[in-house]
Chains A and B, each alone.
Chain A
């Protein structure tokens, strides 16, 4: 055992307070841990709380106060964070609250002394009567950490998934914690034995039937050309999109960052691994996007159909641009392709420096099939285009959908 609390009360009858405090050779009782709590709700610090029953002698001028020695070895405890909190006194076999007598608590910590060169401290504790006191010793400990990870199992149609959220506790603190209460700040309270150098993964929550949207994204400026043979095409990235709210059967707590392993029901009682992604912190009501890889069955190429400068005055001009997208869906399901444009980049490439955020307006030749979303800002519009599944007839030709994004980037120079 690396962590030790020693009650020196038994010595007090024969030893003066001062000698007890300074002597490092001792005979002492060892109150055992009645309970341990590992509080992991703060992402940076782990708080350990131990509850022990400590026998105390009545303080008197002759015998002095009780000396309680707390020591540890090979354990990275933040010495300055250690708290000693008397909680209750055992009376007639039951614990009762500590009262104030003449304005002073029945049990009170007078001071704490720190011996040189040792991982130890000594509390001087006043007790108005001889008693067994329930105390909590709390401290911050290093190398006892938490992390989160997820397992997502999508149904075969990719309309729902079951999301399992796990917390993993890694104990490299140098201390064993038997039957410790573990709490992450949300989710269930666990009682676990966590030995030294152990890693324990626990299920936080299982979210069933979580609706998902499978998205296909084309982003020319982020991903560039697909390959030399298709210089105007760009990779189509696939994501599952979940919304962390009650309506979408989530929304219990912010989803912490962590690795997500994604599987899909293969329809034959098995599962297929789709890939994994690192999710970011997803606050309530926000969307979690899980990257699945590149789609080979949706092809989109982007060409510039019109690039015309309109002089305004002096060196000021407007740049009129028509982007043409030719899209083919070879999947057997309908899909929505999200095209992400970056107007500032577009201005720089075909016009001039936008001098900050580009000002632009939509042109009347924009295809009606495009719907717009400006949630990432006006200069990064998302264009959504619905695509029908490929024809069931294997001899039929897949429709090439052509849509145009007509815009004028204004006031460039």
Chain B
């Protein structure tokens, strides 16, 4: 098996000579990494790495060298702190040697002599995670087994063996992009403080806005965790911790089950919203992120949902897929499976009649009129069981709408009706819209008037 050489190294410099800058030949020991914990903040390509290592210190000043060649560490974020003898050990100074990029030297003042556990922490980019979900429905399309998987990607340039992995669901605010900073030599950091840093800030802000915009469009992915993944709230964020440790090699990714809910009852609803889903009814499967559904322990991060249905002989049919946006606890989960050839929607205009003309007082030209339109929306269901149908029609103008089936206003110019369509049957939704045109139009809204 090929083994990568350690890329991040913590060196104890044996020569206690203050003139570090003149030194090009070092003799060092390499304390190994005892433990590492990775906290991945996916929203900003940011990971907090916390390493525990044992150092042997002598009384007085000790020099420690930390290097990170070929990785994506933010040099400004690197910190060291003792986990024992905290009152007896101090970091006296931190030097970023100009002649040695990607190196850092700490001077440690120790009042004790012997082995000490220290924690080195830093931010790195290149470690990300992503969620995806699989729902496998029974053949009756009433219940499914729902599973969510977290996939961790390691493109950080560093090997993390037996790492404790935690993933943060939520969006943190970052002024600079870690990856951008990591690409800049250490000696240039001071310049970043003044001029270029502002560019990175603007860039980070712009990308943040774009990302939020993509999320609003449903194009964004995030993730969460499993393998008895522990889920807990942290401030406004949610944290998923992989039980035990995982090894994720550089360049590899690993996918683990994070959410599992079996035999979840779900509803199938057909939605006709031409302005939103196109000219045909879209088929939705809907359930809740709650205890009743075997979920509800944690929010569901963004991720692609794939929906299958069991068919005969243990096989599956692929029903469709959709990007799921963050689903809070107790919220509905909705997946659009697209059009269904077995549910047909047609809209017919039965008649048009005009009345109540208004004329200009001087030139006697028509300035306003009313138009009565009779419509019938026809829904045919060829499935073997009744379906729930939701109709939303958006109408612009000053409209009075008389209806027969129960109808409500979704908003000022959109009506909504929900009804069942029997198995292998048809339901008609007839309505009459009186549209006030020109000077007869006093409003821009649909007023509902139930048909007696």
Instruction: Report which A residues bind B (CB closer than 8 A).
Output: 18-19, 21-23, 37, 39, 41-42, 44-45, 47, 49, 51, 80-81, 83, 87, 109-117, 136, 138, 140, 181, 183, 185, 254, 256, 281, 283-286, 313-316, 355-359, 374-375, 377-379, 410-411, 413
Contacts and interface: CB of A to CB of B under 8 A. Distances in A.
A45 B306 CA distance: 11
Interface in B313-365: 314-321, 338, 341-342, 344, 348-354, 357, 359-360, 363-365
B316 A111 contact: no
B314 A80 contact: no
Given A80-B132, A254-B341, A314 B366 contact: yes
Contacts of B247: 18, 21-22
B399 to A, nearest CB: 13
Nearest to B374: A378
A314 B364 contact: yes
Contacts of B319: 42
B211 interface: no
A324 to B, nearest CB: 25
A109 B366 contact: no
Interface in B232-257: 246-247, 249-257
B380 A410 contact: no
Interface of B: 1, 132, 134, 151, 227, 246-247, 249-257, 304, 306, 308, 311, 314-321, 338, 341-342, 344, 348-354, 357, 359-360, 363-366, 369, 371, 373, 380, 382, 437
Given A39-B315, A83-B134, A114-B255, A358 B352 contact: yes
Contacts of A87: 314
A379 B351 CA distance: 8
Contacts of A359: 352-354, 371
Contacts of A378: 349-352
B251 A281 contact: no
A81 B308 CA distance: 11
Contacts of A39: 311, 315-318
Given A22-B249, A313-B359, A411-B369, A47 B1 contact: no
Given A42-B320, A254-B341, A283-B344, A377 B349 contact: yes
A283 B341 contact: yes
A27 B223 CA distance: 34
A41 B317 contact: yes
Contacts of A254: 341-342, 382
B298 to A, nearest CB: 19
B253 A113 contact: yes
Contacts of A314: 359-360, 363-366
A37 B134 contact: no
B342 A80 contact: no
A348 B342 CA distance: 39
B341 A281 contact: yes
B256 A411 contact: no
A45 B321 CA distance: 10
Contact of A313 (B254, B348, B364): B364
Contacts of A185: 317
14 contacts: A18-B247, A39-B311, A39-B318, A41-B317, A111-B256, A112-B151, A114-B255, A281-B341, A284-B380, A314-B360, A315-B365, A359-B354, A378-B349, A411-B354
A116 B251 CA distance: 5
Contacts of B365: 314-315, 413
